[in-house]
Structures are given as C-alpha cells and as structure tokens.
Amino acid sequence: MEKRGTVLMRRYELGRLLGQGTFAKVYQARSIASGQSVAIKVIDKEKILRVGMIDQIKREISVMRLVHHPNVVELYEVMATKSKIYFAMEYVRGGELFNKVAKGRLKEEVARKYFQQLIAAVDFCHSRGVYHRDLKPENLLLDEKGDLKVSDFGLSALGASRRDDGLLHTTCGTPAYVAPEVINKKGYDGAKADIWSCGVILFVLMAGCLPFHDSNLMEMYRKISRGDFKCPYWFPSDVKKLLIRLLDPNPTTRITMSKIIENPWFRKGYRPMDPQAQMKRDESLGDVRRAFATDHEGEEEKKQEPCSSSSAVKPAPLNAFDLISRSPSFDLSGLFEEENERKAELARFTTQQPTEAIVSKLEEIAKTERFRVKKEKEGVVKLEGSREGRKGQLAVEAEIFEVTPALYVVEVKKAAGDTLEYERFYHQGMKPSLKDIVWKWQNGEQSPPQPGMPSHPPPLLPPAHTQHD
C-alpha cells in the first residue's frame, strides 16, 4: 500500500487518498519538479491480469492520449513498476457533478452551461473516433472554476472496435443512462449511444431525478426501450422538445451532435472552443506498451521501435492475386463507398527506384513538411504531422510492394486526421515532391522519363486473354 509522503519514480510525492475501487486507488500528489497538484491513479497489475482487464486499461490510456480538450480530464503520463501502473492525471478539485445534483435540481442557466461543456467534450471525442459509453454525473468532475471535466474512459471504445457492420456490440454502461439499442444487443452506433446518455444527464440536471426509473430493472429497461418519460411542469418548452429528440428510442432518427449544437436553447451563451487552443501533448503509445511489459518484453520492444532508417524498410511482396485486387477492373470497393471518397483516401504509383530511394524521398518530404517518420510494419512508412488539425494530427501511410526486383508499387493513403487537410498536403506538398521517383500514377498520369528509364512502363496486369499457370 502506498503511504502518504511516498515519492514515486522520483517525480511525485503522494498525498491523501481521494478514492478507491476494486483494482485501483487514486491519490492527490505533488509534482516534485513543478510543485503542481496532480491525481495519481495506482493500478494493481496482478489483479487486472487475473481478471483479464489488461485490454481495458490499455484502451483507457490510448483513448486519453487522443482526447486533449479543456473539458476532458488530462492524462500527463503513465509510469509502471513490476507490480503497479501509475496514471499521473489532472487534479480536478471540485468533485463529481453528481454531488451537486444530489442536493436538488439546478437552475436552467447552470444546467445549460454544464450541458454545453459536456456536448463540446463528447463531440470532440467523437471527432477523434472515441466513444465514452459510460457518461453519467459520477463521471463528470468540476474544477475550481466550476467548469466540467469528463473522466473515466475505462469503458470507452475506439472506432477500430467496430465490427464489419460498422457497429459496436459490447453491452456496457450504467443501466439508467444506457441507450435502448445497447440493451437490445443488436449492435449500436457509439456516437448515438453517447448522445442518449447526454440526454439523460440533461434531464437529471434540470429535474434532480432520472427520466427512467423503476425498482424493477426489467421494467426500467422496458421504459427505456419505449422512450417512456415525462418532463416536470417547470421544464421550458424548448428543453422538452430537445429532450424528446435526445431520448428518441430510434437511433436513426435521434438528434445528431451537429443539430444539438445548432439548437436555439443550447446556443444561448455558448462559446465554442477555439481549435487552436487545444492542449497538445505527445500521442505516442510507447508508455502504453511499457506499462504492461516485463523486463524481457521491454527489451524486445526497444528492438522493435519505429525506425526512420531507409535500410530498415523491406517491401512486401506482391503476388498475382494482390495485383488483381488492385486493378480498377476488379475493384469491388465501389459497391460500398463513393468514388470520390476512394480517390481522396488512396493514391497508387509505380516506380523503378529501389526501396532505399523511395524511403529517402518520403523522409525528405517529411522533413520539409515537418512530419515525423515511423516504420509501422513490413513495407509501411508512416508520416505523422506535428500540428493539431480539425480532427487531430494528420497521418499519412505509404506502403511499398515489390512486384519484381526492378518494379515497385507504392500506395499512399490517409491514416488519421481530416480528409481535406490530407488532400491539401498530398496535392500541394507530397505529390509534386514524388515526381522524381514516380514512373506512372494509377490514373494514367505519367511523370517525365528519368535517365535510364523506358518511356512506357509495362502494365501491372497482363491482357485479359493471356493465359497463365
């Protein structure tokens, strides 16, 4: 057990215990370097290993790395020993919003302020592909200025968690705040489920009680599934109308985030966040891996750290089936997505330049555009932007395939960030810089022939009538 006055990692001096659960304790602490007050979450590694919660803790760290917003509790760093994991987080002094609501309903203007800050934070999370899935007053903290901070991302999901149907399927959350489609276990849109929970929270702030409540849990679920609730007489009519749209049991007709923000009642006194004012921190997940690694695994990780050396990149082999799948004649993706969207997301070119020259050119582009270079996997080079964009930092992937020792295919696509920002970077910076090594683009556009290169490249696919083994 950590004692008051204990110094962790020579960085933080522990103070009083703020709270504890089955697997973790939270302490107030002080940064020795800056004197700043922080909250330290101490997680017992053995306990979470025993109950299989490793992925949940990893996901929580990963998510908090992605969401840097004034109304979200900030994660400063993650540390670990052989037996413990430590989160150093923003210390929010005002306690839970739940404690404020437990004393009775709030005035309309106060409820609206908290709801505005909640929506601003959740909308930002959604723009980064993060769905909280356990929004409730107990997970909303207040700082010394009375501003709201969303916390506890332990049940959150990333967009990558969606199945082939594009939906999430894990049933989780707190019963009184959970959306009907989550209860029905048929798959759900994480954004729409969070919007439902925000609607329940707004009702609680205005009424001081829950919209769906029953001592019998199954009866409460039936009320939730029907959207069966009544607003108290003191609710303004525009709040009632907004709640009917927030607590619509049909997720397809439920109000969207953009419509909430356009709502006249919501917009009173609303001050949207300046995108340039977002907090910027390192988003690397190295500390996620290190927190769960044994000493041996840590050494292996060091060997596998991303490397910008061009000699370290080996192209992936491209066989006949790969070629066919990349041929426009055999491209079935049009059945599922718009042509313009595909063009915006993926570009492909052939080159006779060796892998070293391709990677060297990508590094040159990264340096000019102030991007970081990382080797992600075999044949993949990732360029990561250093500036925060509309949907986070832009990341571009270039995957190199070897067709023959003298012919390579390179696929360039957006890995993260805003599509318009990607298109601007690609067309204005990346594509012009690649002309020295490009033989032919997928759309037929050809770069000027380079010395020693034939004027017409061979086709990627043989004619349809040619027979092969």
Residues that constitute the known binding site for ATP: 41
User: For the segment 140-155, what is each residue's pLDDT rounded down to a tens digit?
Assistant: 999 999 999 999 998 8
**Whether the model pTM is above 0.75:** no
Measured over the CA atoms of residue 40, residue 45, residue 51 and residue 52, the dihedral's sign is positive
Tell me the per-residue pLDDT of 85-126, one tens digit each, with 9 for 90 and over. Answer: 999 999 999 989 999 999 999 999 999 999 999 999 999 999
Q: What is residue 151's predicted lDDT score, i.e. its pLDDT?
A: 94
Residue 218 pLDDT > 80, yes or no? Answer: yes
Q: How far apart, in whole angstroms, are the C-alpha atoms of residue 310 and residue 328?
A: 30
User: What's the whole-number average pLDDT of the chain?
Assistant: 81
CATH number for the domain running over 7-91: 3.30.200.20
Q: What is the mean pLDDT of residues 162-178?
A: 86
Q: How confident is the model at residue 130 (pLDDT cuts 50, 70, 90)?
A: very high
Dihedral angle computed from the Cα positions of residues 445, 449, 453 and 456, in that order, rounded to the nearest 10 degrees: 40
The pLDDT confidence band at residue 463, using thresholds 50, 70 and 90, is: very low
Average pLDDT of span 220-225:
94
Confidence class for position 447, pLDDT limits 50, 70, 90: low
The encoded tokens of residue 349 equal 């070119």
DSSP line for 101-144: HTT-PPPHHHHHHHHHHHHHHHHHHHHTTEE-S--SGGGEEE-T
Q: Are the C-beta atoms of 350 and 460 separated by less than 8 Å?
A: yes
pLDDT at site 307: 38
Structure tokens that stand for 290 in this block: 């290190």
Q: Is the pLDDT of residue 164 over 70?
A: yes
134 is catalytic: yes
Whether 366 shows a pLDDT value over 80: the answer reads: yes
Judged by average pLDDT, the poorest of 166-175, 279-288, 298-307 is 298-307
Q: What is the CATH number of domain 306-441?
A: 3.30.310.80
The better pLDDT of the pair 206, 453 is held by 206
* pLDDT at residue 69, rounded to an integer: 93
The residue-averaged pLDDT of 42-57 equals: 86
Q: Among 123, 134, 189, 248, which one carries the catalytic annotation? A: 134
Evaluate whether 25 touches 44 at the Cβ level (below 8 Å).
Answer: no
**Residue 317 has what pLDDT?**
64
**Residue numbers belonging to the annotated binding site:** 41
| 184-198, 267-281, 384-398: range with highest mean pLDDT | 184-198
| Domain boundaries along the sequence of the chain | 7-91, 97-271, 306-441
The strand pairing partners of 290, in sequence order, are: none
C-beta separation of 38 from 58 below 8 A: no
pLDDT at residue 429 greater than cutoff 60: yes
C-alpha–C-alpha distance, residues 440 and 309, integer Å: 26
- How confident is the model over 343-360, as pLDDT tens digits? 456 788 888 888 888 888
CATH topology classification for 97-271: Transferase(Phosphotransferase); domain 1 (1.10.510)
* Relative orientation angle of helices 108-127 and 190-207, to the nearest 10 degrees: 170
173: left (phi over 0), alpha (psi -120 to 50) or beta: left
Structure tokens that stand for 238 in this block: 């525009």
| Conformation bin of residue 452: beta by default, left when phi > 0, alpha when psi is -120 to 50 | left
pLDDT of 57 reads 87
Least confident range of 110-114, 121-125, 250-254, 452-456: 452-456
